Amino acid sequence: MPDAGTQSAETLLRGSVLVLLQFDVCEAIRLDRLQELIRARTVQQPSMKHPAPGYVRYQRPPVVVPLEPLVLDSGERLHGEIKYYDYGVVSVVFELPFAEGWEKWIKLASQWVWDVDFAAQATAIVRASLERAAPALVKPYEQWLSEDYLIFHVREIPGSPSVADLIRLHGSKIAQVVRGDTGELADSECNEILQSRISYYANDLTVIGWNAAFLYDSTTGAETAIQLLEYANSQLLEFRHYDDLLTEELERVYTLLDKGTGILARWRLARSATRLHTVLLDVAELTEHADNAIKFLSDMFAARLYKLAALKVGVPDYKELVTRKVHTAEELYRFMVDQFNQSRAFFMELTVVIILVVELVYLFRGNAF
């Protein structure tokens, strides 16, 4: 990386790049047990930079453990930490301090978004970390889902421009950073990207994309946005898990129904209906757990920022998929229970008829003698 001193003062941007890598590793993590197993601290609740009657609060703050620096093939040295969330998500965060001009930021964004496989390196780190944390994991998964996200945090820009000036002078460059594209973007594409922006003061800016975000703020001011972006991606991960779980269970039920609906088949539906109902209860419990992991207590700006972040990374889309599959599963459950009840009623009626026939046989045989 070139010496910052060679950069013109008019173009030098100071900040850092954060790489968020998250893994859905188990149903839940007992954080109190985890802290007994490893030396760790809990995440501090984010401080609000603006006056607010309430705050953003974790229901159970994640446990944080520092990591050894990660050195990339290109020579960059990233400091890292690993976070354990009580709803079963493990998050690895790497950070690279960065002081360069716009072109260098754009080039780095393109390389890291498309060319660097951070997930593979983070997976090995997480597996090694979970060996020590295993007793604190509830129902570990064999296969992990993962999400990755980049945050380009600029703390200082020469001249300390306002948001309006920053968008006017460098809006196209911000769009390139968020897209991870070194090519000159069309005005329509730049406008589409910059529509997903939010500011509280005249000199802070957050632009959110589906796989990267651009922040222009102080270290303290950006703290809440970073944590909410991390939380939004962890929720996406959880809903992807629920979607896969319901898809697998519904396919199993459809396969069973395709085998026929005869009397014996209907009896087998009872066990399947019980299992399906258990899955529905698990999804409801896990969804509530993840949804309630963080609270917005009267802080409407943080709530709006999270809503925008969740929208851009795709949380509502997956939540809608899960909701539709839950409704389908509920209808299937009712159908399977009805089929089983019909079979049980038929069996009971048949049993009564057989008993009556047997009694009549004995009655007539007695009269014959």
220-278 pLDDT tens trace: 889 889 989 999 999 899 889 888 888 888 888 777 777 655 555 555 566 666 767 77
- The per-residue pLDDT for 249 is 81
- The per-residue pLDDT for 8 is 42
Among the ranges given (167-181, 199-213, 221-235, 354-368), the one the predictor scored with the smallest mean pLDDT: 354-368
- The per-residue pLDDT for 351 is 73
- The per-residue pLDDT for 135 is 94
- The per-residue pLDDT for 74 is 83
d(CA 209, CA 117) in angstroms, rounded, equals 19
Phi, psi for 23 (deg, rounded to 5): -135, 135
* Average predicted confidence (pLDDT) for the chain: 83
154 within 8 A of 109, measured Cβ to Cβ: no
Among the ranges given (5-14, 136-145, 215-224), the one the predictor scored with the smallest mean pLDDT: 5-14
pLDDT band at 367 (very low <50, low <70, confident <90, very high): low
Q: Flag whether pLDDT at 1 surpasses 50.
A: no
> What's the angle, vertex CA 113, arms to CA 205 and CA 102, rounded to 5?
50
Give the tokens for residue 95.
């950070």
By DSSP bridging, strand 13-29 and strand 137-156 are antiparallel
- The per-residue pLDDT for 181 is 95
Helices (H), the chain: 31-37, 102-114, 118-133, 163-179, 187-194, 219-258, 263-291, 300-313, 315-368
Q: What's the whole-number mean pLDDT along residues 126-133?
A: 92
Q: Flag whether pLDDT at 290 surpasses 80.
A: no
- The per-residue pLDDT for 366 is 61
Q: Flag whether pLDDT at 364 surpasses 80.
A: no
Record the pTM.
0.81
